[in-house]
Amino acid sequence: WELALVLLRSMPELRVAPDTTSCNAAISACEKGQQWPAALSLFAAMQAERLEPDIIACNAAISACEKGFKRGLALSLLSEMERLGLDPDVISFNASISACEKGYRWAQALSLLPEMHQRRLRPSTITCNASISACEKGHQWVHALELLRAMQRQCLQPDLHSFNASISACEKGARWISALSLLAEVLDRGLLPDVISYNASISACESSQQWVRALELLDCMRFSNIRPSTITYNATISACEKGQQWTGALSLLEEMPRRDHISYNSAILACSRGLCWEWPLALLGDMAVRGLRPDVQACGRLLLEAEGRGMLGVEVELLSEVGRLLGNSGLDQEGRSAAASSAMTRILIVGFLDLLADKVARQQVSNSISSRLQAASGARIDMTSARFREDFSHQFRNKMAHN
């Protein structure tokens, strides 16, 4: 884009007057380079030089604003086209709807669809995908599914992006059955789900406490040679946590090539619900070795769980580990509010935190993590073999085998 601007500015020196075509090319270069200020500057300069922008210039300028997350400017340019005597085309509306989608304005995005109809413009797959994505970001799963079905009525073939956005919308709406139905439809249509498809589906199961389904989907990914991402594992571990399946959570944590603080926090909570109190300490120690900071609110929930079960001794040990990892500054007002238990407050007031922190040695805790994880993985194998006897898993494996 910089070279395009240099060439445009050098044209007068070469005794060549810039025209609409050369300006259009420069604006398009700025749009592709995601330089919306330069694109708008050129668009304004055209009018100052009495060069009337055409639809190519307008579309490029709108697209530049869309890529720059400037929804308001994109919609202003769409309105400006009418003043210039230009009729917006499908590209104009696609870029404007995408700008609304990036700006999390689903209602504005959908409001442009009737205007397209009034102008007798037929929406494209890009139009529908951008609209569905806008609904997904706005947690409007009903509208997303309506748009997906409208595509079929208009003889438009939904692509993988259409389904992924719709599945994600169902996930945000806690509609796990709808999400899995859409995933099955992807396979029925001969499309190949990708990691995004599975991540959204697993997250839908996680939010609805369907841990068995989440594990089945993870197995389907392996069967399809789709490499699970960190998001995949985190969602599945969280599903196990909600289903009180601490052995499954730990075996997944062991399997992960890269663990982050979300992975550990979910596993820690799973262990707290499973009454495996040695594990939170081991996991906290492993986090320290890896340079990860535990989530204060998650640790607060862990402490509340311990106190609720009358396990004061465990509380003291857990708090000392949290204090050692976070330092006193880590237990701020937000952390105290999240973990507002009488035992925790007493320890903080008395000032035992530093004294207790020395009782938990980082190396002792972290050295045992690998062996403990390996010991827990055996339970995961038995659980997996049992899951594969269910019809749901067989259906997905059969579908993948025929695609």
Supply 343's token pair: 């035992």
Residue 8, in any domain of the structure: yes
Residue 252, in any domain of the structure: no
pLDDT, position 290: 80
Residue 47, in any domain of the structure: yes
Of 88, 107, 126, which residue is a domain's last? 88
Supply 186's token pair: 């992807």
Scanning the structure block, which residue is given the tokens 């580990």? 321
Q: What is the pLDDT along the chain (403 residues), one digit of tens a residue?
A: 777 777 777 776 777 777 888 888 999 999 999 899 999 999 998 888 878 889 999 999 999 999 999 999 999 999 999 889 999 999 999 999 999 999 999 999 999 999 999 999 999 999 999 999 999 999 999 999 999 999 989 889 999 999 999 999 999 999 999 999 999 999 999 999 999 999 999 999 999 999 999 999 999 999 999 999 999 999 999 999 999 898 899 999 989 989 998 999 888 888 877 666 667 777 877 777 787 877 766 666 666 666 666 665 655 565 566 655 555 444 444 444 444 444 444 333 333 333 333 433 334 444 444 555 555 444 443 333 344 334 444 555 555 555 5
Scanning the structure block, which residue is given the tokens 């003291």? 316
Helices (H), 174-245: 176-188, 195-207, 211-223, 230-242
113: left (phi over 0), alpha (psi -120 to 50) or beta: alpha
Sequence letter at residue 247 = T
pLDDT, position 298: 64
| Residue 133, CA atoms < 13 Å, CB-side half-sphere | 20
Q: Whole-angstrom distance between the N-terminal and C-terminal Cα of the chain?
A: 42
In degrees, rounded to 5, the angle at the alpha carbon of residue 226 between the alpha carbons of residues 224 and 227 is 145
| Domain range enclosing 68 | 1-88
- Do 213 and 392 meet the contact criterion of CB atoms below 8 Å apart? yes
pLDDT, position 398: 58
pTM above 0.85, yes or no: no
- Cβ within 8 Å of residue 360, ≥6 positions away: 281, 285, 317, 320, 321, 324
pLDDT, position 316: 59
Residue 311, in any domain of the structure: yes
**How many structural domains is the chain composed of?**
2
pLDDT, position 353: 33
- Cβ within 8 Å of residue 226, ≥6 positions away: 193, 194, 195, 198
Alpha-carbon distance of 403 to 244, in angstroms, equals: 35
Residue 247, in any domain of the structure: no
Scanning the structure block, which residue is given the tokens 């946590």? 241
Residue 18, in any domain of the structure: yes
Q: Which one-letter DSSP state was computed for residue 360?
A: S
Residue 163, in any domain of the structure: no
Residue 309, in any domain of the structure: yes
pLDDT, position 280: 74
